[in-house]
Amino acid sequence: MGLISNKVLVLAVVLAVALFLVTVWLWPRLARRGWRAVVGRVGLLLVTQVALFAAVGLAANRSFLFYGSWADLFGQEQDMGVVVDHSAAAKDVQVVEKQGLKVPGGSRPEVGGQIQKVVIAGERSGITSPAYVYLPPEYFQKRYAKSTFPASVVLTGYPGTAENLLKGLKYPRTAYTQVKAGKMQPMILVMLRPTVAPPRDTECVDIPGGPQTETFFAEDLPKAVSETYRVGTKPRNWGFMGNSTGGYCALKIALHHPDRYAAGAGFSAYYKAAEDVTTGDLFHGDDRLRKRGNLLWSLDHLPQGKSSFLVTTSKQGEGNLKGTLDFIKKVKSPARVSSITLESGGHNFNTWNREIPPGLVWMAGRLSAA
C-alpha cells in the first residue's frame, strides 16, 4: 500500500480510534499501583499518541504531498540514475520511461494519452532538469498524425516535486476530462518544478555568475520540446502556468518574453522575487535586475507585449489579494488580463484544484495549434 493511498490513511485512522477505545476500556485495570500497571498506562498512552500523530501526518501528507512514497519518506533512493549524453549529437529531450493515464482504456495511448518522464538539457543555459510530458490521446490518433498541438509549461511551487502535478494537482487527468467534455482543445503539458538547480530556489531569474534559469525556461525548454514533439515555435503555440513560486515564474516569463509565450497563468502567485536563505543572493547588488524581478514594477516601466495573463486569489485566506488587484490594474493593452477570485481559499492543493480546471480551459483558449 502506497504512502498516499486511501487504504493506508483509513487503516491509520481505524488503528488510532481502536487504540483509544482499548485505552479507555483497560484504564480501570491499569489504575492499580505497581510497576506493571505504570508501564501499561505509559505504553498505551504512548502507542495511542503515536497512532494519532501518524494518522494526522498521513492526512496532511496526502493533501500536500510532502512525500510521494515510503522510500521518499525514509530518504531512500527510488530511481536509478539517468545518464545524459551532452555530446553535440545528443537530443535535448531524452525519454526515460512512459506510462498511461489511469482512465478506461488508458493503457492505449490513442485512448488515454501518455505521460513520458524525460530529461531536458538546456543548450544555452547548461541546465539539465527532469520533467514529465503529457501527450493527449489525439497526439497518437491517425487523423491528427500530421497535426501540431499547443503546449503549456506547468510548474509546481518551491520546493515541490514534479510528481505533485500528476498526483495532487492532477493536471493530465484534468486536461483529459476537459477535452472529453468539449471545453478545451487538446494540449501538451510539460510539467516540472522551478528548482532546476536544486536545492537552490532561483526564482526563475538569470543569476549573475550562477544558474541561468530564466534562459532555460524562456529559450531552452520551448526549443527542445518543439524539436522533439509536434509543437510549434511561435508565441501563440506556447503558454506557461504554475502555482505559488511556479505562478510567479509563469507570469514573469510570459511578461518578460512575449516573443516566446502568448499566455501566463499564476495560481496563488506572488509578484516580487523572494530573497531569503533558500534563494541566496539572486541579483548580486544589481538594482536593475532586482526591479525587473518585481512584476508590478515591470508592468509600470517595461513595454507590455501581447501576452495574456490569468491571476487567482481569494477574498479570505490568501495573502496575495492586494498584489493581484494591483497586477490587474497595471496590465495595459496590447496585453490582456483575466482573474479568478474565490470567496475563501488558502495556499494549498484544495484551492488550486478549484482553479486548475477553469485555468486549463482559459489557457487552451489563448493558444493556437498552428
Tens digit of pLDDT for each residue in 212-235? Answer: 999 999 999 999 999 999 999 999
Residue 84's pLDDT is 47
Residue 198's pLDDT is 85
d(CA 208, CA 198): 17
Residue 95's pLDDT is 92
Q: Convert the pLDDT of each residue in 85-100 to its tens digit.
A: 544 445 688 999 999 9
Helix/strand/coil for 326: helix
Residue 47's pLDDT is 87
Q: What interhelical angle do 6-30 and 35-64 show, nearest 10?
A: 160
Residue 26's pLDDT is 81
- Alpha helices (H) in 65-108, listed in sequence order: 70-73
- Cell numbers found for residue 162: 514534479
Residue 288's pLDDT is 94
Residue 23's pLDDT is 82
Q: How many C-beta atoms surround the C-beta of residue 241 within 10 A?
A: 28
Residue 63's pLDDT is 60
Helix/strand/coil for 181: coil
- The segments of the chain whose pLDDT lies below 50 read 76-84, 86-89
- Cell numbers found for residue 88: 553535440
Backbone angles phi, psi at 50, to 5 degrees: -60, -45
Residue 234's pLDDT is 96
Residue 89's pLDDT is 44
Residue 203's pLDDT is 95
The structure's pTM equals: 0.79
